[in-house]
């Protein structure tokens, strides 16, 4: 599946927030409030309602590292749910395998987690899965391959962070289990999902 391959700091500067796309937060923070481009240093004009909604939708795409077609497909799937569309959309994004690897602290960024998955370093229920958009389910057992355990940053992260950072995942070193589906309160990023829903329902 296609992905964004351009400068990640520019995405954070475009939104005006640190989106955890890079590991060096201090470097991002130095120019975070300067928009990219020739006229980036000028003040920002007040956004319209549409502009606010669009910015939030773009931010959601940048955070999870997906493109418009993927997000629209997930929104359409979420809109068929009996629960709140915004919360369901975020739950579907959280259940992506690359995001799960990131949440388990097996990779420093979602981009690095995506690479681990794409290079077949992750197993789900004993089988290698190389699709970053794979949706995990309750009861799924996820683990790193022996080859992945030898990657320098993975080894360091396993040493530094023995526990998962979210309640819906149970983790023991290089093995984890999905104990329940993620809910809105599990997501720590500052996302206003209602604005995304309003954007797509225009």
Asked if residue 116 lies in contact with residue 101, where contact means CB atoms within 8 angstroms, the answer is yes
Give the pLDDT score at 1: 54
pLDDT of residue 158: 85
CA-nearest of 72, 44, 45 to 58 is: 72
Per-residue pLDDT of 2-33, as tens digits, reads 676 666 666 766 666 667 666 665 555 666 66
In contact, 92 and 135? CB cutoff 8 Å? yes
d(CA 184, CA 190): 11
Phi-psi region of 112 (alpha: psi -120 to 50; beta: other; left: phi over 0): alpha
Q: What pLDDT was estimated at residue 169?
A: 94
Model pLDDT, residue 91? 95
Residue 67's alpha-carbon distances to 3, 4, 61, 151, 190, in angstroms, are 6, 7, 6, 28, 19
**What was the pLDDT predicted at 47?**
77
The contacts of residue 172 (CB under 8 Å, 6+ apart) are: none
11's CB contacts (< 8 A; 6+ apart) are 4, 19, 21, 62
Report all structural domains of the chain as residue ranges with CATH numbers, in order of start: 8-93 (1.10.1050.10), 97-184 (3.10.290.10)
The predicted structure's pLDDT at residue 87? 94
pLDDT in tens, 28-80: 566 666 667 655 556 567 778 898 999 999 999 999 999 999 999 999 999 99
Please state the rounded mean pLDDT for residues 173-193.
Answer: 91
Confidence class for position 178, pLDDT limits 50, 70, 90: very high
What's the pLDDT score for residue 137? 96
Chain segment 137-166, per-residue pLDDT in tens: 999 999 999 999 899 888 888 887 655 568
Angle at 196 between CA 2 and CA 139, to 5 degrees: 65
Alpha-carbon gap, residue 112 to 108, rounded angstroms: 7
In three-state secondary structure terms, 135 is: strand
Which of 19-23, 178-182, 188-192 holds the top average pLDDT?
178-182
Work out the widest C-alpha separation in the chain, in whole angstroms. 53
Dist CA 80 CA 189 (whole Å): 24
pLDDT of residue 153: 87
pLDDT tens by residue, 110-130:
999 999 999 999 999 999 999
| Rounded (10°) angle between helices 193-200 and 49-64 | 110
């Amino acid at each position: 599946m296609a992905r964004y391959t351009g400068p990640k700091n520019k995405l954070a500067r475009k939104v005006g927030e640190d989106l955890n796309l890079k590991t060096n937060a201090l470097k991002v923070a130095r120019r975070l409030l300067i928009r990219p481009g020739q006229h980036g240093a000028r003040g920002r004009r007040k956004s319209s309602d549409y502009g606010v909604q669009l910015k939030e939708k773009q931010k959601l795409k940048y955070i999870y590292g997906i493109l418009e077609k993927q997000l629209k497909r997930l929104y359409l799937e979420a809109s068929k749910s009996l629960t709140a569309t915004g919360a369901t959309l975020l739950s579907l994004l959280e259940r992506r395998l690359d995001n799960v690897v990131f949440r388990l602290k097996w990779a420093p960024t979602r981009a690095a987690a995506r690479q681990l998955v794409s290079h077949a370093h992750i197993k789900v229920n004993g089988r290698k899965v190389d699709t970053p958009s794979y949706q995990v389910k309750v009861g799924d057992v996820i683990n790193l391959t022996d080859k992945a355990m030898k990657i320098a940053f993975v080894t360091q992260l396993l040493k530094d962070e023995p526990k998962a950072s979210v309640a819906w995942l149970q983790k023991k070193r290089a093995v984890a289990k999905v104990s329940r589906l993620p809910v809105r309160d599990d997501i720590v990023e500052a996302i206003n999902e209602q604005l995304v829903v309003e954007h797509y329902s225009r």
